[in-house]
Structure 1
């Protein structure tokens, strides 16, 4: 779970644990045993107190969490077709940085509309972010990308990445969106084992008593392979942050499998239309809903 205060999105707290839903109530328990309880109501979550009741009083409205939509990269489809991998942007002041093919940056503001290419190189990469640095005409540039949700401060949209851009001794803060997967795709590479299927009434232990589904992602060769715990599958990894693979085009063996584990897994796997990495954890989404949680081997 990732939490942040609306007034300061840069202060992000990440924790891991378990998720349980009973009726219209959700309980999130982190690895330290601390539990948070919420009540689902339309498109909102109402924070509950220790007795499982809504908080009352003058601050009641502060304990209602409203669903916010993720920014859709389709808006930047033309830029993606032109080889742009990632767009970072900010307000107050307005600024925009395009990362192209992982090799060039283009920095623009309302007062600076030229398209000078700034050659950059990947200085640092990891499960929590990436840093690109470059120099042009003696001026240093640094783009940092963090795998944290962020807000542009002007709309109700939430972005999958938080960004900072440093130039001329100034540090600009903003949001970011991956267009072609060069950012998020790199962190997904490697071997993974399934940790959880977020399906009501189903647990990993009850579905898979012996073997657990595994996944191997090769972002260089753009290949995906794995096991349902019974059958093997493989296909293309499209290095796209919003649609990493096409489940309908996966090749799979056809052994008869005991139990419902494979059926439940494939039903969730075929719904995936996005993913996100946080440290050694891979989350697969259908829109804003997490379906599968993987751990890196």
Structure 2
């Protein structure tokens, strides 16, 4: 009986350790520079929104802040990452260069709505609940 209980406890400990490692590995994969290649809810073609520079994000551990470029202005803001959940704090500090078109505003509005993320290979997907709202490629 003691052997069975010991085996069950070892199995539970192993499964818990594996799940913890997966969460840590996932957030570590977030580190680095990412370039936008998809944004939802826009009626203008992606290349029309971002003809010169695509928006980008730069994540550094311990994931308390995210910085990047909105396609026109640089920005920085506080960030909260817990497992695969992500919250971008408001307000966002941003430079004040005049930007043509609506690409920057669309990107910043969507960034504020992010609630989670997933990473598969070199693709970062930002989600609003369970809906993909933006996708990025690792640079």
Please report the TM-score for the alignment, with normalisation by the length of structure 2: 0.78
Greater than 3 Å deviation, 4+ residue runs:
111-114, 141-145
Matching of residues 47-62 of structure 1 within 5 Å: none
Structure 1: any 5+ residue segments left out of the alignment? 1-108, 119-140, 146-162, 164-175
Q: Does 1:290 align with 2:132?
A: yes
Matching of residues 187-266 of structure 1 within 5 Å: 187-220=29-62, 222-240=64-82, 241-246=84-89, 248-266=90-108
Q: C-alpha separation between the residues in 2 aligned to 1:266 and 1:223?
A: 15
Q: Shift in Å at residue 289 of structure 1?
A: 0.8
Matching of residues 100-139 of structure 1 within 5 Å: 112=8
Please report the TM-score for the alignment, with normalisation by the length of structure 1: 0.39
Q: C-alpha separation between the residues in 2 aligned to 1:194 and 1:210?
A: 13
Output one character per residue of 1:127-177: Cα deviation in whole Å (capped at 9) or x when no partner: xxxxxxxxxxxxxx58656xxxxxxxxxxxxxxxxx9xxxxxxxxxxxx8x
Q: C-alpha separation between the residues in 2 aligned to 1:260 and 1:200?
A: 10
Count of residue correspondences: 130
Q: C-alpha separation between the residues in 2 aligned to 1:193 and 1:291?
A: 14
Which structure exhibits the higher relative contact order, with contacts defined as CA atoms closer than 8 Å and separated by 6 or more residues?
A: 2
Structure 2: any 5+ residue segments left out of the alignment? none
SS in structure 1 opposite 2:29? helix
Q: Shift in Å at residue 245 of structure 1?
A: 2.5
SS in structure 1 opposite 2:47? helix
What is the match of residue 270 of structure 1? 112
What is the match of residue 184 of structure 1? 26
Q: C-alpha separation between the residues in 2 aligned to 1:238 and 1:267?
A: 18
Q: Shift in Å at residue 244 of structure 1?
A: 3.9
Moved more, 267-276 or 219-228: 219-228
Q: Shift in Å at residue 203 of structure 1?
A: 2.5
**Higher Rg:** 1
What is the match of residue 74 of structure 1? none
Q: C-alpha separation between the residues in 2 aligned to 1:183 and 1:287?
A: 21
Q: C-alpha separation between the residues in 1 aligned to 2:76 and 2:64?
A: 11
